[in-house]
Chains A and B, each alone.
Chain A
Amino acid sequence: MHALLASILALGALAPGRTPAFANLAVGDPLRDRDLAAAAGGKAPLLGDARASVFVIFRTASENSLAALRELSFVERDYAGKGVRFVAVVSDADDLEEAKALLRSSGAKMPLLVDRADALYGELGVRMHPVVGVVDARRRLAAYEHFRKVGFRRIVRGRIQVALGEVSAAEMEKVLAPAESRTGDALAPARRQVALGRMELARGDAKKAEESARRGLALAPAHAPAHVLLGKALARQGRCPEARAAFEEALRIVPADPEAGEGLRGCSGKQDR
């Protein structure tokens, strides 16, 4: 596992340095606002006056576009009334009615704008879609996210939070690379034996508790709580010299362990029954 983790980290270090972006607009670059034709009629700005603007460029007849818009509909709801503007943009080469239907079926409420003659598309250099751009209050491209099948909603939400200054870049890294979700670490089997032994001891069965402690120690010889449990189980059986050794071993591993210290004091000067 450690080797795997190390290799993944090594790959991370080798990952390309350039932040993913549009072909002609990098993250941090200023983006000029402009009016686009609105599907509902008239014109509407791409960015407008908002704390952050989010635009998604999508296509009709695209499963990924529908999936992306569905995910964005949740983010849109999260930010309703919070000064974040969402717009969807489609090329006029796509069927407008189809685009409207796709947006409607996604549950997203954002206005639909039309990119005539792929002007915005060409200016930005859109190469992947659906794709989301997040623009901050200074009208700089704060984030670029093309659709991904896993984690899209959470990552876009995080990008908006960063643009709004709600979370730091370091916190965003945790979103991009969350801790693995494995059941149990190397010590888990030993911890379970200790937990079982504690229950047995609480129920007055010191012999079984001793057996559980020893099973725990067989799994993890340096697991201090197992030594403590062993000490307590032995002490309860009146085997204080052995218990003392167990408590001392626990204190050798964790010098400030209060339970081990207390156990040792309890056994102090006592001999076997």
Chain B
Amino acid sequence: MVSPRPARRLALACAVAAALAAEPARAGSAVAPLRPSEVTSVHAAYETGDCALCHVRNDPKNPGKPSGPVNELCFGCHDEVRDLLKREVVHWAAADACTNCHNPHGSKQPKLLVDETVALCTSCHSDVGEHVASARVKHGAVTTGAKCANCHNPHGSSVEKLLVAYPFDLCLGCHSKEGMRSADGRSLANMKEWLAQNPDWHAPIKAKDCSACHRPHGSANFRLLVATYPEKFYAPYATETYRLCFGCHNERAFRAPETTTLTNFRNGAKNLHFVHVNKEDRGRTCRACHEVHASKQSHHIREGVPYGPKGWILRLNYVKTARGGSCAKTCHETRSYDNQTVVAHPAK
């Protein structure tokens, strides 16, 4: 692909004739050459003016139909796409005809696309288009750079949903630097660095599945979360405000005052998750004790909690034991728990 030059007029005329003569690869495909004034990139093969490179005749007035199956013609030069179309996940539009998405003559879009990337993709994937347009919280990856192709390979892939790689590898491609901000101006962590410093990773991260919690096309929830989660440190407990966590974790582990099976965070049978979370006013949200991405301590227990306007970090002083653990002098006096033998605490 190179920039347009006046010398290609003959070639343009040739392709106009070809487009008129040849049957379209697919109904609705837009492969006719554009007017030179509209074109910002031209296919190198077209620019040679040698119609017979792709058509049955080298006659600008009547080049005839393509000289072979469209995709095979393209693969003659674009061999890497042939390889991609052999992967486990193949985009039917690409396997059907390259001309479903590319104009083989020239285009006003990068990559000879027949339309702007998001518009082109969502012309078929309309559900995604509607989701992107209506999302309250936007994801910059959808609208910047290569847009959809930042994360998807529109030809073929080894990962489902035509993802270039597993979500974790894709997300860290961007979320690995300081100073990133969300669309609403919030500061975003350097996730790569955070994960490198904190070895106890949340299970979806271990599974390279950021999409377990974040919706990359946009969301109604803050931080692109797939479901509800309280935005503030304290929140009254209600199952529906923790839909995010309860997608994987069992809500019964938080609403049963006593259990011997649903959680090991208990003193005897007293469910300490229930004690912390299940309050009508200042219920502790998960973040009060857990780092949602990764921590240095097991069970994703955070080292401390920010306190006051200057964000002092008050340490939790969590200590894990074989059957329980303890926290000391942050939110409360030292408290120990043992999930088999009840630890007695003095009455308040």
Chain B binds chain A: yes
| A interface residue numbers (CB < 8 A to B) | 4, 7-8, 10-11, 14-16, 20, 23, 59, 62-64, 93, 117-119, 121-122, 125-129, 146-151, 153-154, 176-185, 188, 191-193, 195-196, 199-200, 203, 205, 208, 212, 215
Other-chain contact of B52, A7, A122, A183, A203 (Cβ < 8 Å): A203
Q: CB distance B81 to A183 under 8 Å?
A: yes
| B interface residue numbers (CB < 8 A to A) | 2, 44-45, 48, 50, 52-53, 76-81, 84, 87-88, 153, 155-167, 169, 172-173, 176, 192, 195-196, 199-201, 203-204, 206-209, 211-212, 247-250, 252, 260-264
CB pairs A–B below 8 angstroms (9 shown):
A11-B192, A127-B250, A149-B209, A149-B212, A181-B87, A181-B158, A181-B162, A192-B77, A196-B48
Q: CB distance B167 to A195 under 8 Å?
A: no
**In the bound complex, CA of A142 to CA of B256 (Å):** 32
Other-chain contact of B84, A10, A117, A118, A181 (Cβ < 8 Å): A181
**In the bound complex, CA of A192 to CA of B80 (Å):** 10
**Please, which residues of chain B bring their CB within 8 A of the CB of A16?**
199-201, 206
Q: CB distance B53 to A200 under 8 Å?
A: yes
**In the bound complex, CA of A193 to CA of B76 (Å):** 11
Q: CB distance A128 to B248 under 8 Å?
A: yes
**In the bound complex, CA of A185 to CA of B83 (Å):** 12
Nearest-CB distance from B68 to chain A (Å)?
Answer: 12
Nearest-CB distance from B54 to chain A (Å)?
Answer: 9
**In the bound complex, CA of A122 to CA of B196 (Å):** 32
> Which of the listed residues B167, B211, B212 has the most CB atoms from chain A within 10 Å of its own CB?
B212
Nearest-CB distance from B215 to chain A (Å)?
Answer: 10
Nearest-CB distance from A157 to chain B (Å)?
Answer: 11
Nearest-CB distance from B100 to chain A (Å)?
Answer: 15
Nearest-CB distance from A224 to chain B (Å)?
Answer: 16
Q: CB distance B80 to A185 under 8 Å?
A: yes
**In the bound complex, CA of A121 to CA of B81 (Å):** 47
Beyond A59-B250, A208-B50, whether A128 also contacts B203 by CB under 8 A is yes
Nearest-CB distance from A143 to chain B (Å)?
Answer: 13
Q: CB distance B153 to A182 under 8 Å?
A: yes
Count CB-based A-B contacts (< 8 Å).
Answer: 144
Q: CB distance B159 to A178 under 8 Å?
A: yes
Nearest-CB distance from A201 to chain B (Å)?
Answer: 12
Nearest-CB distance from B52 to chain A (Å)?
Answer: 7
Nearest-CB distance from A200 to chain B (Å)?
Answer: 7
Nearest-CB distance from A248 to chain B (Å)?
Answer: 27
Other-chain contact of A8, B155, B169, B247, B250 (Cβ < 8 Å): B169
Q: CB distance A121 to B261 under 8 Å?
A: yes
Other-chain contact of B158, A14, A178, A212 (Cβ < 8 Å): A178
**Please, which residues of chain B bring their CB within 8 A of the CB of A128?**
203, 248-249
Q: CB distance A150 to B77 under 8 Å?
A: no
**In the bound complex, CA of A23 to CA of B264 (Å):** 9
Residue of A nearest to B157 (CB): A181
Q: CB distance A195 to B76 under 8 Å?
A: yes
**In the bound complex, CA of A64 to CA of B247 (Å):** 7
Residue of B nearest to A17 (CB): B199
Other-chain contact of A208, B48, B80, B81, B87 (Cβ < 8 Å): B48
Q: CB distance A182 to B164 under 8 Å?
A: yes
Ranked 10 nearest A-B pairs via Cβ:
A122-B261, A178-B158, A181-B157, A195-B77, A148-B209, A118-B261, A181-B153, A192-B77, A148-B207, A149-B211
**Please, which residues of chain A bring their CB within 8 A of the CB of B262?**
118, 121-122
Q: CB distance B164 to A181 under 8 Å?
A: yes
**Please, which residues of chain A bring their CB within 8 A of the CB of B261?**
117-119, 121-122
**Please, which residues of chain A bring their CB within 8 A of the CB of B80?**
183-185, 188, 191
Beyond A4-B173, A181-B156, A196-B45, whether A129 also contacts B248 by CB under 8 A is yes
Residue of B nearest to A14 (CB): B196
**In the bound complex, CA of A240 to CA of B34 (Å):** 41
**Please, which residues of chain B bring their CB within 8 A of the CB of A10?**
196
Nearest-CB distance from B153 to chain A (Å)?
Answer: 4
**Please, which residues of chain A bring their CB within 8 A of the CB of B192?**
7, 11
Beyond A23-B264, A191-B79, A195-B76, whether A14 also contacts B176 by CB under 8 A is no
Q: 16 additional contacts, CB 8 Å, given A14-B196, A181-B158, A208-B50?
A: A7-B192, A59-B250, A118-B261, A118-B262, A128-B249, A150-B209, A151-B166, A178-B159, A181-B156, A181-B159, A183-B81, A183-B155, A185-B80, A191-B79, A192-B78, A208-B48
Q: CB distance B196 to A200 under 8 Å?
A: no
**Please, which residues of chain A bring their CB within 8 A of the CB of B209?**
148-151
Q: CB distance B250 to A11 under 8 Å?
A: no
**Please, which residues of chain B bring their CB within 8 A of the CB of A23?**
264
**Please, which residues of chain B bring their CB within 8 A of the CB of A129?**
248, 250
Q: CB distance B199 to A14 under 8 Å?
A: yes
Q: CB distance B172 to A7 under 8 Å?
A: yes
Q: CB distance A15 to B206 under 8 Å?
A: yes
> Which of the listed residues A117, A179, A215 has the most CB atoms from chain B within 10 Å of its own CB?
A179
**Please, which residues of chain A bring their CB within 8 A of the CB of B155?**
181, 183
Q: CB distance B78 to A178 under 8 Å?
A: no
